[in-house]
Structure 1
Amino acid sequence: MLVADLMTSQLRCLKETDCLADAVAAMQELFIRHVPVLDADGRLAGIVTQRDLLALEHKKDAGTALREVMRTDVVTVAPDTPLRTAAETMIFHKYGCLPVVADGELVGIITETDFLKLAIFPLAPRRAG
């Protein structure tokens, strides 16, 4: 199985110019813990996580731009990356998610929750044809 088989492809992304309050609102509205941040050209610039927001809660103003606080050292995977490779990367580095990038464009995200869902609700076999 590949990352493309499990990743979430309908993403809620924010822009570098959006603020911490926007990230909090997106996470609460959609019950998510990771929000990719895009640059002006629509390319992945960083990521903001729920853990990051909790750490910044009393240190930064809610109007602080995401470009000032997002993680920019983001490890990504391709859609054709084997699931085992993605899982090992997440486990060994303690990442909660990996953005999925193809040809420089963000196409999805794979999270710990995706792997948990796979363990509980295995994917149905694909039909040929």
Structure 2
Amino acid sequence: MTKNIIGLTRSDDLERAEMLFNRHKIKHIPVVSGETIIGMLSYTDLMRISFAETAPERDDSVDSVVYNMFTIEQVMVKDVVTVNSETTIKEVAQILADREFHALPIVDDGTLVGIVTTTDLLNYFVKQF
């Protein structure tokens, strides 16, 4: 799992989210209140509401207008499936496969302690061979 968590809060805006996705080259960001996860925002969620995929040339002003129409809370997934740090790699892989997720937050005693992604799993498997 990745322990160095890049997170957002309810008060952050979608422009900040896009900046974090791009700067850190990540696809999923937990939304937190203190150390508690309250949602998950994926880059796909963000692209769903933007014109980025359909615009012939990148026009940041269009995205800014669209992003200002929504809040993090409106776009994030609220019913987040989590696992704890004692969950086996096999169990995590099974959840990701069955639910067609690409990331799972790791929560111990109500506190977000990490995130495991399909990339993390692939890197782990590559190291095993």
TM superposition score normalised by structure 2:
0.84
Report the number of matched residues. 116
Distance across 1 between alignment mates of 2:112 and 2:12: 18
Distance across 2 between alignment mates of 1:14 and 1:47: 9
* 1:32 pairs with 2:43: no
Mapped contact 2:46–2:75 kept (Cα < 8 A) = no
| Structure 2 match to 1:104 | 110
The Cα shift of 1:19 comes to 1.0
What amino acid is aligned across from residue 12 of structure 1 in structure 2?
I
Out of 32, 39, 44, the position equivalent to 2:37 is: 44
* 1:62 pairs with 2:73: no
TM superposition score normalised by structure 1:
0.84
* 1:85 pairs with 2:78: no
Over aligned residue pairs, what C-alpha RMSD do you find? Answer: 1.7
Q: Name the one with the larger helix percent.
A: 2
Q: Stretches of 4+ moved more than 3 A in 1?
A: none
Question: Sequence identity of aligned pairs in percent?
Answer: 30
Out of 59, 62, 76, the position equivalent to 2:82 is: 76
Query: Gaps (5+ residues) in structure 2?
Result: 52-62
